């Protein structure tokens, strides 16, 4: 797994564009995927240490992406984002071992703090 790479998965191009700019400004290399299939192929190629995935997408949803990534690489940090947030979705995400859950519109400061927390934990683990 490579530090400073974040795989961003969202079917909405505008969201991907905005988050890519924000995360690039934070110093991360962004890998972008428009759906679950694209995300899993990218994950297998690039092995990012952090994945940021939307839940509601056509085809494979974010929970399917989370499950498959965790089965391939259990140490990967997966942050779940959604515009349809409720307690049940958050609980389901954490039950699948997501490390964080954010509702859209995203609080980019809180997202940055979470990513920094993950990065610090990764550094301490090595």
Reported as a single tens digit per residue, the pLDDT across 16-35 is 999 999 999 999 999 999 99
Is 93 a domain residue? yes
For residue 89, give its domain range: 2-120
Its pTM surpasses 0.85:
yes
Residue 18 lies in a domain: yes
Residue corresponding to tokens 């990967």: 76
Domains in the chain, number: 1
- 125 in a domain, yes or no? no
User: If we measure between CA atoms, which residue out of 4, 2, 15 comes closest to residue 81?
Assistant: 15
Question: Within a domain: residue 58?
Answer: yes
Phi-psi region of 59 (alpha: psi -120 to 50; beta: other; left: phi over 0): left
The CATH code of the domain that includes 52 is 3.40.50.2300
Which residue stretches of the chain have pLDDT < 70?
1-3
Residue 126 in domain:
no
């Amino acid at each position: 797994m490579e530090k400073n790479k974040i795989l961003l998965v969202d079917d909405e191009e505008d969201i991907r564009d905005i988050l890519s700019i924000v995360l690039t400004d934070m110093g991360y290399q962004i890998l972008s995927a428009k759906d679950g299939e694209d995300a899993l192929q990218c994950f297998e190629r690039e092995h990012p240490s952090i994945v940021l995935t939307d839940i509601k997408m056509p085809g494979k949803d974010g929970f399917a992406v989370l499950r498959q990534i965790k089965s391939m690489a259990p140490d990967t940090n997966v942050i779940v984002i959604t515009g349809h947030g409720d307690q049940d979705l958050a609980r389901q995400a954490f039950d699948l071992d997501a490390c964080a859950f954010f509702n859209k519109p995203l609080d980019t400061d809180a997202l940055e703090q979470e990513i920094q927390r993950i990065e610090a934990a990764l550094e301490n683990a090595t």
